[in-house]
Amino acid sequence: MKRRGYQKYMERKKKLTGKRIVGIDPASEKHHSAVLDEGGIQIGRSFSFPVSFEGYGIKLWNELNRMLGNYNPDNLVFAIECSCALWKSFSDYITEKGYTVLLVSPLTTYHSRPIMNHDFSKTDPKDALIIADNARNGSYSEYRIFTPDSNKLHRLSITYEKLVKDRQKAVGRTRALMQEVFPEYLLCIGVDTHGSLYLLERYFLPEHFQRIDVHKEEKNLWHISNGNHSTDTLMKLKTLSYKSIGSHVQEEEEALRLTLDAWIIQIRQIDLSMKKISSAMIDLSKKTEYFEILISIKGISDLTASRFIAECRNLDEYNHYKQIEKLAGANVRLMDSGRYEGTRRISKIGNKRLLKLLYQMATQTVKFIPEIRIKFMKRQLKKKCYRENIIACVPWLLKLIMALIKERRQYVFKEEATQEMKKLEPKYTDMSNKDKKQRKVA
């Protein structure tokens, strides 16, 4: 796999042989450019053009005509740093013109700055030149145009992840407020559940729960919480309210009520938006041939499968599971030199959303899928480190997924793997029980 990576690197360099490169450092108001000739020498001075119709359509081409004379899509390519979303509109524009667009990572630019002149200083002309030079050296990926459905799915996946973060913020603020005024509340019910939001819209101070009518609220709470909470929870809250150590904020009740309502409204609105987006993502994913294959693996839900498809885009483009592993930043960083072998760690340089998603998928599938659970239990029996061992199962999960996709078949439990898993289960259960006893004693 390493050798194949080096070969691809050399192939990328060869593609640019005999071509001139326009390096673009994107910005919100104007892009800065530097042009390299076939030998990698800068032509003239760098120039900038505004991010506008006139800048793209007139200023850019006037400068290129002045510097290059005759050029066409066969002997000229554009390299642009893919930072934020500043590069997207220009890449689409240039691609429509028939030119090849190369994407250079901001991390590559960052590490290349001191190489040029042993100086970490950052300027737009310098970055534009570095971007063009890095592209010439093969440190790029080609800009690709995906189908509208793929783009919609990818955009919804990004939006969903942002909503998850926004929800976590709102929940954290709600929890912080309750920790101040009624900390015992958090011992009884999760602050962001439907039942909890129902209660917090009506009661939130200890005095409120002291006056609560249990018989009146028990049926509503049982129905809203899907039977998870009812009389016992309400009686526990009422009992704890008399012994609460929360701050005395009775005179501030109006301001606290407005604050809490603001967080609750945010949580409810985000939940509604997430529900709509997840439904749309699942509908789009069902149009692909990957969806049914992924959900056939027990532990992978409809939403998880949809998000995996969204982040990987076209799964048929991957020849090896390690390509997805590297895309997510779950690949192992090697630190070997001579007889020295450094600690193996994942790189974390990649798609953070996909990395988080793969961890979630491994956490669930490790409970059910023999091929993955065997790997997990063996590692746990050797060295107990839950998170590290879950991450170690990610390559096995990806290997399984890629095999199913290549063969265009759904997952089927294998008798041999199932029997091996059953043999390991008693050992793993005994170890878990011993750990529980030791924690109780401690």
For residues 17 and 121, give the distance between their C-alpha atoms in angstroms, rounded to a whole number.
30
So what's the pLDDT on residue 347?
86
Angle at 205 between CA 204 and CA 211, to 5 degrees: 95
- In 3D space, the residue among 308, 363, 356, 391 whose CA is nearest the CA of residue 165 turns out to be 356
**What is the pLDDT confidence band of residue 339, given thresholds at 50, 70 and 90?**
confident
Residue at token pair 């450092």: 25
For residues 352 and 184, give the distance between their C-alpha atoms in angstroms, rounded to a whole number.
36
**What is the pLDDT confidence band of residue 200, given thresholds at 50, 70 and 90?**
very high
pLDDT tens column, 51-72: 999 999 999 999 999 999 899 9
So what's the pLDDT on residue 332?
83
For residues 313 and 420, give the distance between their C-alpha atoms in angstroms, rounded to a whole number.
35
Write out the two tokens for 372. Answer: 């993955």
Q: What is the CA radius of gyration of the chain?
A: 28
So what's the pLDDT on residue 308?
97
Count of beta carbons in the 10 Å neighbourhood of residue 135: 28
H or E element that contains 35: strand 30-36
Residues in the chain: 442
Give me the long-range contacts of 50-58 (CB less than 8 A, separation at least 24).
Answer: 51/27, 51/89, 51/90, 55/30, 55/31, 56/90, 56/93
Residue 65 identity: N
Residue 124 identity: D
Q: Do residues 346 and 411 touch, judged by C-beta distance below 8 A?
A: no
**What is the pLDDT confidence band of residue 436, given thresholds at 50, 70 and 90?**
confident
Strands (E), 321-399: 332-333, 336-337, 340-341, 345-346
Residue 4 above 70 pLDDT? no
Q: Which residues fall within 8 angstroms of residue 296, CB to CB, at 6 or more apart?
A: 404, 410, 411
Domains (ranges, CATH) in the chain? 2-145 (3.30.420.40), 152-283 (1.10.287), 298-441 (no CATH)
For residues 277 and 283, give the distance between their C-alpha atoms in angstroms, rounded to a whole number.
10
- In 3D space, the residue among 253, 254, 313 whose CA is nearest the CA of residue 284 turns out to be 313
Write out the two tokens for 292. Answer: 């049914």
Dihedral of alpha carbons 107, 113, 119, 122, sign: negative
**CA separation, residue 178 to residues 256, 327, 336 (Å):** 10, 40, 51
Residue 89 identity: S
Residue burial 39-76, b: 16+ Cβ < 10 Å; e: rest: eeebeeebbbbebeeebbeebbeebbeebbeebeeeeb
| CA count, 13 A, side-chain hemisphere, 321 | 16
Q: Do residues 200 and 174 touch, judged by C-beta distance below 8 A?
A: yes
**What is the pLDDT confidence band of residue 5, given thresholds at 50, 70 and 90?**
low
User: How high is the mean pLDDT of the chain?
Assistant: 92
Residue at token pair 């041999």: 416
Residue 432 identity: S
**What is the pLDDT confidence band of residue 442, given thresholds at 50, 70 and 90?**
low
**What is the pLDDT confidence band of residue 441, given thresholds at 50, 70 and 90?**
low
Q: Do residues 7 and 13 touch, judged by C-beta distance below 8 A?
A: no
Average the pLDDT over each of 19-23, 255-259, 356-360, 428-432 and give the range with the smallest value: 428-432
- In 3D space, the residue among 400, 153, 159, 404 whose CA is nearest the CA of residue 288 turns out to be 153
Q: Coil, strand, or helix at residue 16?
A: coil
**DSSP strand pairing (345-346 vs 336-337):** unpaired
Read off the DSSP letter of residue 226: T
Strands (E), 295-364: 332-333, 336-337, 340-341, 345-346
